[in-house]
Amino acid sequence: MSAMLRNQWIGAQPNMRKIFISSVSAFALFSLAALAPAQKKAGDPEKGKEVFEQCAVCHNVDTDEKKIGPSLKGLFKRDKLKNGKKVSDENVRAVINAGGNGMPAYSDMLSDEEKADVIAYLHTT
């Protein structure tokens, strides 16, 4: 390689490093931004209490007494749901979405935010 070409290549390397580091940084930033909406927003228990009013027709949260559906008092202190699955936000959300045993499916009746709010409220009962 001629001395002139070698000097051009050596002189270009710091610029290439800057471009590479900038590209990697931009990729990381855009990747994090794309993942942000996938994270679930924590619900608001106060709003959840309001949304729960339509659930309270069938479910208690202040007594263990069964109404049409089972009491949800202390739901997140229990080991299992009535369907035998572990009590978790995901499993409770699945029951809300699918319904069952006479409970209507709320997948289209409640927004994701309202479901998160109800689940946050149930954590407080």
pLDDT at 71: 95
Residues 6+ apart with CB under 8 A from 99: 105, 106
pLDDT at 39: 47
Chunk the chain into consecutive blocks of 10 residues (it has 125) and report each block's average pLDDT, rounded to whole numbers: 58 60 60 55 92 95 94 96 95 96 94 97 96
Q: How is domain 45-122 classified at the CATH fold level?
A: Cytochrome Bc1 Complex; Chain D, domain 2 (1.10.760)
pLDDT at 52: 96
Q: In this structure, are residues 105 and 93 in contact, taking their beta carbons and an 8 Å threshold?
A: no
Residue whose token pair is 């002139």: 4
pLDDT at 38: 46
Alpha helices in 36-99 (DSSP H): 45-52, 89-98
pTM: 0.67
Alpha helices in the chain (DSSP H): 3-35, 45-52, 89-98, 112-122
pLDDT at 77: 96
From CA 11, how far away is CA 14, in angstroms rounded?
Answer: 7
Q: In this structure, are residues 123 and 45 in contact, taking their beta carbons and an 8 Å threshold?
A: yes
Both tokens of residue 108? 């289209």
Summarised one tens digit per residue, pLDDT across range 106-116 is 999 999 999 99
pLDDT at 92: 97
Residue whose token pair is 């998160």: 116
pLDDT at 83: 92
List the chain domain ranges: 3-38, 45-122
